[in-house]
Amino acid sequence: MTETNSAAQAATEQMMSLFGDWQKAGLGAWAWANPMWYEMVVEMNAEIARFISDRLKQDLEFQARVLQCRDPAALRELQCQFMKEAFEQYSSETGKLFKMNSAALDAVTGRGTDG
């Protein structure tokens, strides 16, 4: 039992050392980033989570309407409307995230400022 614990301890220490090395290497590449960048990334992630939550809600509502639909022509119209709205929402969200990312890069790098 002690031999197994020692082997597990050694393996754990080796993995922790590797993780530490990976973290140092990764953070070295991100040394230019400042706290403002991380704050903006959190905002973008929150926006993505909000969008996914809204889309899932709409997907479930759509499925409920499909299950209640008894007319093929109405079903076709329902599907077309759903696809059109989804495409518009995904396009809008892509634009919003692009603008957020550009603003984050501008803020962190000073790009777009006169000074």
- pLDDT tens digits, one per residue of 30-73: 555 667 777 888 899 999 999 999 999 999 999 999 999 999 99
Shared domain check, 63 and 23 = no
Shared domain check, 41 and 81 = yes
Range of the domain at 91: 33-115
- Residues 103/40, Cβ–Cβ less than 8 Å: yes
Predicted local confidence at residue 47, as pLDDT: 94
Answer yes or no: pTM beyond 0.95: no
pLDDT mean over 63-89:
96
- Residues 107/36, Cβ–Cβ less than 8 Å: yes
Shared domain check, 27 and 80 = no
Spatial neighbors of 104 by CB under 8 A, at least 6 apart, are 36, 37, 40, 41, 44
Calculate what percentage of the chain has a pLDDT beyond 90: 50
E strand or H helix at 9: helix 2-29
